[in-house]
Copies of this chain bind each other. A is one copy, B any other.
C-alpha cells in the first residue's frame, strides 16, 4: 500500500509543504516515486512521520530530530545513541510537564481571585492587590 503526498499529509497532520520540507532537510528519506515523478509514501514512512510528530509535539528541535533520523539511517549500530537521545528527551519532557503543572497552580490562583472579585469582595484590599 502506498500513499500520495496529500494522503500522507492528512494522515500525519502535517501540510504537504511541510512533508517536502522535512524531506529536503533530511528528516525523512526521499520516498519512492511513481512513473510521473510523484511521491509514494509507504506505511513505514507514515509510521516514521507519526513518530516524528510526537517528537515535534514534545518540543524536540528539528536539528535533534535530524540527528536521530541520520542515526536511524545508519542502522542498528547506532541504537545506543538513539536510545540515549530519547532518554534525554523524555527527561526533558517530564521536566516541562512538571513546569506546566506548577504554572497551572498559579493560573488557578489567579482565576480564583477573579472569582472572588466577581463575588463582590472587590473592596477587600488584599483581593485587589493580588488581582494583577
Contacts of A47 in B (CB 8 A): 132
Copies in the complex: 2
Do the beta carbons of A90 and B107 come within 8 Å of each other?
Answer: yes
Do the beta carbons of A93 and B100 come within 8 Å of each other?
Answer: yes
Q: From residue A132, how far is it (CB to closest CB) to chain B in Å?
A: 6
Indicate if A15 sits at the interface (CB-CB under 8 A): no
Q: Given that A93-B107, A111-B87, A114-B83 are known contacts, is A100 also in contact with B57, CB under 8 Å in the complex?
A: yes
Which listed segment binds B: A2-10, A34-42, A115-123?
Answer: A115-123
Q: Given that A104-B90, A104-B93 are known contacts, is A114 also in contact with B57, CB under 8 Å in the complex?
A: no
Question: Which residues of A line the B interface, CB within 8 A?
Answer: 47-48, 51, 54, 57-58, 72, 76, 79-80, 82-83, 86-87, 89-90, 93-94, 96-97, 99-101, 103-104, 106-108, 110-111, 114-115, 117-118, 122, 128, 131-132
Q: Give 17 new A-B contacts, CB below 8 A, not counting A57-B99, A83-B115, A97-B101.
A: A47-B132, A48-B132, A58-B100, A79-B117, A79-B131, A82-B114, A83-B111, A83-B114, A83-B118, A86-B114, A90-B107, A93-B100, A93-B103, A93-B107, A94-B104, A97-B97, A97-B100
